[in-house]
Structure 1
Amino acid sequence: MRHRSVPGSSGRVRPMRLLGDPVLHAPCEEVTDFGPALAQLVEDMFATMYAARGVGLAANQIGVAQRVFVYDCPDDEDVRHLGHVVNPRLVAVDGEVLRGPEGCLSLPGLESGTPRHDEAVVEGVTLDGKPCRISGTGFFARCLQHECDHLDGGLYLDHLTGLRRRRALRAAARAPWAGRTAAG
Structure 2
Amino acid sequence: MSIRPIRLIGDPVLRTPCDPIRTITDGTRALIRDLMDTVDDEGRAGVAANQIGVNLRAFSWNLEEKNGVGYILNPVIVELSEELQDGDEGCLSVPGLFFPRTRSAYARCVGTNLEGEEIELAGEGLTARLIQHEVGHLDGALYIDGLERSVKKRALRQIRETL
The bucket for the TM-score relative to the shorter chain is over 0.9
Is the 2:78–2:108 contact (alpha carbons within 8 Å) kept by the matching residues of 1?
yes
TM-score, normalised by the number of residues in structure 1: 0.84
Q: CA deviation at 1:50?
A: 2.5
Is the 2:36–2:70 contact (alpha carbons within 8 Å) kept by the matching residues of 1?
no
- Secondary structure (helix, strand or coil) at the match of 2:55 reads coil
Q: CA deviation at 1:95?
A: 4.2
User: Structure 1 residues 132, 80: closer, same or farther in 2, change over 3 A?
Assistant: closer
- Partner of 1:98 in structure 2? 85
**Which of 7, 10, 32 is equivalent to 1:17?**
7
**Which of 34, 38, 49 is equivalent to 1:48?**
38
- Partner of 2:110 in structure 1? 123
- Secondary structure (helix, strand or coil) at the match of 1:16 reads coil
Q: CA deviation at 1:46?
A: 1.8
Whole-angstrom distance in 1 between the partners of 2:36 and 2:161:
29
Is the 2:20–2:74 contact (alpha carbons within 8 Å) kept by the matching residues of 1?
yes
Q: Which runs of 5+ in 2 are unaligned?
A: none
The residue type equivalent to 2:152 in the other structure is R
- Secondary structure (helix, strand or coil) at the match of 2:109 reads strand
Whole-angstrom distance in 1 between the partners of 2:82 and 2:37:
33
User: Aligned pair count?
Assistant: 163
State which drifts further: 59-68 or 159-168.
Answer: 159-168
Whole-angstrom distance in 2 between the partners of 1:86 and 1:48:
16
Matched, 1:153 2:140: yes
TM-score, normalised by the number of residues in structure 2: 0.94
Residues 97-136 of structure 1, C-alpha deviations (whole Å, 9 max, x = no match): 1221110010110111101001001010001111112211
Is the 1:73–1:143 contact (alpha carbons within 8 Å) kept by the matching residues of 2?
no
Residues 34-71 of structure 1, C-alpha deviations (whole Å, 9 max, x = no match): 12221111111122222362100000000000000000
- Secondary structure (helix, strand or coil) at the match of 2:108 reads strand
- Partner of 1:83 in structure 2? 70
- Percent identity reads 38
The residue type equivalent to 1:162 in the other structure is R
The residue type equivalent to 1:17 in the other structure is R
**Which of 37, 43, 58 is equivalent to 1:68?**
58
The CA RMSD over aligned residues, in Å, is 1.3
- Secondary structure (helix, strand or coil) at the match of 2:68 reads strand
- Partner of 1:6 in structure 2? none
- Secondary structure (helix, strand or coil) at the match of 1:129 reads coil
- Secondary structure (helix, strand or coil) at the match of 2:159 reads helix
State which drifts further: 22-31 or 38-47.
Answer: 38-47
Is the 1:52–1:105 contact (alpha carbons within 8 Å) kept by the matching residues of 2?
no
The residue type equivalent to 1:146 in the other structure is H
Q: Which runs of 5+ in 1 are unaligned?
A: 1-10, 179-184
